[in-house]
Amino acid sequence: MRNKYIDNIDCDTAIENFKREVEFSERTETISITQALHRITGKLITARVSSPNYNASAMDGIAVRSADTMEARESNPFILEEGKEFIYVNTGAPILGEWDSVIMIEDVTELEQGRVEIIKASKPWQHIRPIGEDIIKGDPIIPAGHKIRPQDIGALISGGVLEVEVVAKPKVAIIPTGSEIVEETSHLQVGKIIDSNSHMFMGMVEEFGGEGIRYSPVKDDFDTLCETVSRAAEESDIVVINAGSSAGTKDFTVRVIEKLGRVISHGVALKPGKPTIMGVIDGKPVIGIPGYPVSSFITFDTFVKPIISHYLKRRDGRRSVVEAVLSRTIPSSLKHKEIVRVSLGYIDGELLATPLTRGAGVTMSLVKAHAFLAIPREYEGYSAGSRVEVELLTSLEEIEEQLISIGSHDIVMDLISSNLHLSSTHVGSMGGISALKRKQTHLAPIHILDEATGLYNVGVLKKYFDDSVCLIKGIEREQGIMVPKGNPKGVESIRDIAEKSLIFINRQRGAGTRILLDYLLKTQEIFSEEIVGYDREATTHMACGIAVKSGDADAALGIRAAADINGLDFISLSYEEYDFLVREEDLKDVRIEEFISFLKSDSFKGKVEALPGYRVKNSGKIIKNTV
Ligand SMILES: Nc1nc2c(c(=O)[nH]1)N[C@H]1C(S)=C(S)[C@@H](COP(=O)(O)OP(=O)(O)OC[C@H]3O[C@@H](n4cnc5c(N)ncnc54)[C@H](O)[C@@H]3O)O[C@H]1N2
Ligand code: MOO
């Protein structure tokens, strides 16, 4: 039997309906103040003692009777005798008995034989902190429903409060489901999925102020599911069932909740997260969270967080929101609210938001995201250049350090990002050029051969930019012919491929490697028609390598690294230059300065040259546009 989505209700309405049906029985507990960080106070907390609880000197100096000093002037200095007319005191010392004023030691001239001279009258209660200056016994320190911060702990202890009554953390049962879900990660069979969501939820529950109780994955068996969920509803305050929320034949979550309690809604107008289920069992909230990890994170954040806050009688705890400019158009359906993951970076002082992949299964988009952008329901999306509000997942301080790169991909980018704060998007050389033109990136990595001159990348400067853009030299990677191990057809050059009528596989139009082939054919006066398979295209170096390895092609052009990985022989042809376009004004930016010094460093050089087919020559050198 299959489920059908019954609802497409607005998220806020769904939460309100849900909260109305939930009945929490509030529990509080008394704990030591030293364990109380981030807990929520169950009631108003008042001081048990005053602070200070005696009159205390606020300065190092002498305590005097103010009346004795009334006549002291510069023209009429007073000599005071220790023990009779003054005593020495330090900051914090009690001021008792007849003493009612403190003179700072700097304003006192110390003479011999326990005598001092003062030249100014000392006012009553000068430099004395009276009893209860900070906290008065019986006065409130923090209200009920307050999240205890480190400074609150300090004030509570000063006020003599050593134990506090806090709201008990709601117990949140987390039940991963699905016969394909396993905990064991060492021998993962095809069709099995490691349970990662439940561990992610445990972290989220802790962040939201609850206590997670994780269950082992439950197989798709209706009775076992009912038994586990029923036990969880007894043991916990909130139950989360992960996966089995949609329309598959084994998606039992709705039926389990229906059997044990009541389903309030199934299906919300949210993407990702459409099949979310909300229900109650004996008044306790039960939430069916979709299985896909990104949907899981977003729905847990959208629906479980407010329920935990509701239990704790707290506001929802929205993240900080900032305004950013969208770098690309994002279309969205009118039917639902959509949460888009974005990466952020400052370019020219403006915060720029670039949408990341929208796949519900791509956990890495959550790892890379600096913020969430919510596109409301009934919006067709946002166009490039729009000012939008984004919810921060990372601090702005970290975002300020990000160097942005949009353009062609090379493994060297991974090497750079493990040393610098680099956010890199791979859209090919031409995509990088347009991003730089639109001022959406600091760096645009490219590798484009100018067929007229045989030079790499400098032609791009002249063709697309004026002298406000220059090149930073990057790395060189070896291009050549990939052939099967042992080179059975004896290939030594491109001409051999033509003359021996070997089966070739080419790269797609616009790819740097294809441009190189065309250049070589032209300079060696070989017609493309002479290459069998010239029109057969693959889109990556690896795809070409695999075609040669599997025998689908006799030869292909690509980088040495692709030949090495596939165990192929490699006939070296030339070195391709992979450089970075940058605006000249950005050369002064500290992030670019750090990038350039990294490219020039011995550490970078050493790491690059350890890669097969890679070398560095002039890395970090700046080539200006001389148009
Ligand atoms: N015919 C339809 N199929 C689907 C629809 C639909 O509308 N019609 N909706 C899709 C959407 S949207 C979502 S979201 C998913 C929700 O799937 P379920 O909640 O039913 O979950 P499963 O199918 O059991 O699993 C989906 C997927 O999730 C991953 N997963 C599950 N559990 C875990 C875990 N503990 N840790 C990590 N990853 C987990 C896993 O990749 C599963 O393959 O349904 C669509 N289908
Ligand atoms: O609802 Mo699904 O979570 O859109 O991918």
pLDDT of 202 > 80? The answer is yes
The enclosing domain of 508 has a CATH number of 3.40.190.290
- Given this model, what pLDDT does residue 586 score? 94
pLDDT of 3 > 80? The answer is no
At 223-276, the pLDDT tens digits run 999 999 999 999 999 999 999 888 677 789 999 999 999 999 999 999 999 999
Distance of CA 507 to the CA centre of its chain: 36
Q: Probe ligand 1: pick from 292, 294, 335, max atoms within 8 Å of CB? A: 292
Confidence of residue 559 (pLDDT cuts 50, 70, 90): very high
At 108-161, the pLDDT tens digits run 999 988 999 999 999 999 999 999 999 999 999 999 999 999 999 999 999 999
The answer to whether residue 534 is domain-embedded is yes
Asked if 208 and 300 sit in the same domain, the reply is yes
Confidence of residue 171 (pLDDT cuts 50, 70, 90): very high
Q: Alpha-carbon Rg of the chain, whole angstroms?
A: 36
Answer whether 449's CB lies under 8 Å from 521's CB. Answer: no
**Local structure of residue 223 (DSSP, 8 states):** H
* Ligand of minimum distance to the alpha carbon of 268: 2
Question: Does 253 sit in the ligand 1 pocket, CB within 6 Å?
Answer: no
Asked if 139 and 250 sit in the same domain, the reply is no
The answer to whether residue 412 is domain-embedded is no
- Given this model, what pLDDT does residue 160 score? 96
Confidence of residue 207 (pLDDT cuts 50, 70, 90): very high
- What is the average per-residue pLDDT within 563-580? 95
Asked if 272 and 363 sit in the same domain, the reply is no
pLDDT of 38 > 70? The answer is yes
Answer whether 407's CB lies under 8 Å from 435's CB. Answer: yes
Contacts 24+ apart (CB under 8 A), 426-434: 428/510, 429/460, 429/512, 430/510, 431/406, 431/407, 432/405, 432/406, 432/407, 432/408, 432/581, 433/407, 433/460, 433/464, 433/581
Asked if 452 and 441 sit in the same domain, the reply is yes
At 285-313, the pLDDT tens digits run 999 999 999 999 999 999 999 999 999 98
Asked if 261 and 337 sit in the same domain, the reply is no
- Given this model, what pLDDT does residue 627 score? 56
Confidence of residue 5 (pLDDT cuts 50, 70, 90): low
The answer to whether residue 404 is domain-embedded is no
At 40-72, the pLDDT tens digits run 999 999 999 999 999 999 999 999 999 999 999
Asked if 447 and 529 sit in the same domain, the reply is yes
Strand order of the β-sheet with 277-281 is 211-214, 171-176, 238-242, 284-289, 277-281, 262-266
Asked if 44 and 98 sit in the same domain, the reply is no
Atom of ligand 1 minimally distant from the CA of 360: 14
The answer to whether residue 567 is domain-embedded is yes
**Local structure of residue 407 (DSSP, 8 states):** E
At 389-429, the pLDDT tens digits run 999 999 999 999 999 998 888 888 888 988 898 988 877 78
Pocket of ligand 2 (CB under 6 A): 271-275, 290, 292, 295, 360
Q: Distance, CA 247 to ligand 2 centroid (Å)?
A: 12
- Given this model, what pLDDT does residue 125 score? 96
- Given this model, what pLDDT does residue 93 score? 95
At 513-557, the pLDDT tens digits run 888 899 999 999 999 999 999 999 988 888 999 999 999 999 999
Structural domain boundaries enclosing 155: 28-52+133-167
Asked if 505 and 594 sit in the same domain, the reply is yes
The answer to whether residue 405 is domain-embedded is no
Name the closest-CA residue to atom 4, ligand 2: 272
* Ligand of minimum distance to the alpha carbon of 337: 2
Q: Probe ligand 1: pick from 175, 193, 333, 335, max atoms within 8 Å of CB? A: 193
- Given this model, what pLDDT does residue 206 score? 96
Asked if 277 and 265 sit in the same domain, the reply is yes
- Given this model, what pLDDT does residue 426 score? 76
- Given this model, what pLDDT does residue 364 score? 85
Atom of ligand 2 minimally distant from the CA of 295: 3
Asked if 349 and 458 sit in the same domain, the reply is no
Asked if 189 and 144 sit in the same domain, the reply is no
Asked if 304 and 181 sit in the same domain, the reply is yes
**pTM of this structure:** 0.81
Burial 52-61 (b: 16+ CB within 10 A, else e): bbebbbbbbb
For residues 87 and 68, give the distance between their C-alpha atoms in angstroms, rounded to a whole number.
13
Atom of ligand 1 minimally distant from the CA of 196: 36
Query: What's the mean pLDDT when you consider all of the chain?
Result: 93
pLDDT of 184 > 80? The answer is no
Q: Probe ligand 2: pick from 274, 294, 299, 332, max atoms within 8 Å of CB? A: 274
Answer whether 546's CB lies under 8 Å from 566's CB. Answer: yes
The answer to whether residue 240 is domain-embedded is yes
